[in-house]
């Protein structure tokens, strides 16, 4: 569980690549920017970890030294609602990600559960639940108990991953972590996050269903997003006025409920928008502290 709200990029920021930083330099560079989370991108991985164990362990040590919270975004090539062959391959891919996450001591492997395909929503959910249970069993047989699997809310209507479905998976299976991609919720719901109240009602739903600890420790993705009638189309930077959702609204609710989420920026300008969100939350948090005449702060 994160000890305070944390921010970081999804993947290595372009400016780090320009200075030819190695993977193990990333946590220090993030710390210099005042960021304290990093999501390692394993999104193109197949059945084997595509990082050497010693490199993963080195990243883990650097993250610890620089107080950077690590997560890993799992392979995009996962579909727990497909036929048997696809589900088996998907399980192997997710396990490879979890093995690497264990090497890094990353806290969570975020993943996209799958596509409804020809299934009814119920059939798709049941298949996904079964596959996820079996994956967790395999992780236990490998001695992996500290890495959580995080089904993510998905932005397209043909993907399994409504808020309700993701909460149900977390409710039914231990060693899972709720992952809320706010932009995906916004896109899937055709622009549903318009007011502070819209964000608040989601936080309240999560709390009512999964409890205080789950809501306090949400793992989040945030960017602005463009959508069409099928949902997600493209991510945009925070400054882009034409698109929502507005981070200021989430910041208000995080301060109001005193949450400590890990918030990962998936914006095209990864770390720059992570810093922007951190600053917005710090401002909002201090304002609500003053209102409450209470001086203890997470920052």
Under the rule (CB under 5 A), what is the footprint of Zn ion? Answer: 152
d(CA 128, CA 151): 10
Closest contact distance (angstroms) between CB of 179 and Zn ion is 8
d(CA 266, CA 63): 19
Residue whose CB is less far from Zn ion, 29 or 263: 263
Residue 52, φ and ψ in degrees, nearest 5:
-75, 145
Closest contact distance (angstroms) between CB of 76 and Zn ion is 8
Closest contact distance (angstroms) between CB of 166 and Zn ion is 12
Residue whose CB is less far from Zn ion, 179 or 254: 179
Closest contact distance (angstroms) between CB of 139 and Zn ion is 20
Q: Is 26 helix (H, G, I), strand (E, B) or coil?
A: helix
Residue whose CB is less far from Zn ion, 10 or 238: 10
DSSP letter assigned to residue 152? B
Closest contact distance (angstroms) between CB of 292 and Zn ion is 35
Measured at CB, which residue is nearest to Zn ion? 152
Residue whose CB is less far from Zn ion, 62 or 180: 180
Residue whose CB is less far from Zn ion, 69 or 285: 69
SS (H, E, C) 53-96: HHHHHHHHHHHHHCCCEEEEECCCCCCCCCCHHHHHHHHHHHHH
Longest Cα–Cα distance of the chain, Å, equals: 59
Residue whose CB is less far from Zn ion, 152 or 232: 152
d(CA 81, CA 159): 10
Closest contact distance (angstroms) between CB of 112 and Zn ion is 6
Would strands 159-160 and 224-228 be described as parallel, antiparallel, or unpaired? unpaired
- Read off the tokens for 253: 């609710």
Q: What do you get for the CA distance between the two ends of the chain, in Å? A: 16
Q: Is 198 helix (H, G, I), strand (E, B) or coil?
A: helix
């Amino acid at each position: 569980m994160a000890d305070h709200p944390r921010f970081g990029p999804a993947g290595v920021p372009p400016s780090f690549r320009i200075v030819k930083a190695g993977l193990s330099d990333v946590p220090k560079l993030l710390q210099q920017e005042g960021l304290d989370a990093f999501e390692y991108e394993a999104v193109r991985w197949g059945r084997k970890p595509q990082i050497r164990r010693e490199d993963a362990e080195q990243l883990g040590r650097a993250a610890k030294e620089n107080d950077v919270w690590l997560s890993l975004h799992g392979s995009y090539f996962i579909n727990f609602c497909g036929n048997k062959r696809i589900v088996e391959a998907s399980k192997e891919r997710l396990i490879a990600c979890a093995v690497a996450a264990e090497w890094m001591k990353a806290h969570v492997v975020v993943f996209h559960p799958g596509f409804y395909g020809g299934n009814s929503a119920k059939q798709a959910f049941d298949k996904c639940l079964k596959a996820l249970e079996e994956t967790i069993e395999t992780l236990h047989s490998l001695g992996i108990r500290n890495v959580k699997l995080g089904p993510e809310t998905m932005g397209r209507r043909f993907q399994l991953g409504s808020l309700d479905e993701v909460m149900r998976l977390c409710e039914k299976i231990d060693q899972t972590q709720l992952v809320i991609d706010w932009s995906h919720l916004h896109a899937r719901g055709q622009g549903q996050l318009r007011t502070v109240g819209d964000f608040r009602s989601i936080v309240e739903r999560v709390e009512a269903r999964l409890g205080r600890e789950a809501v306090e420790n949400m793992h989040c993705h945030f960017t602005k997003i463009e959508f069409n009638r099928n949902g997600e189309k493209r991510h945009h930077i925070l400054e882009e006025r034409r698109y929502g959702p507005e981070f200021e609204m989430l910041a208000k609710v995080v301060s109001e409920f005193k949450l400590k989420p890990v918030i990962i920026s998936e914006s095209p300008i990864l770390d720059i928008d992570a810093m922007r969100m951190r600053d917005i939350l710090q401002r909002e948090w201090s304002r609500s502290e003053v209102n409450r005449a209470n001086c203890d702060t997470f920052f």
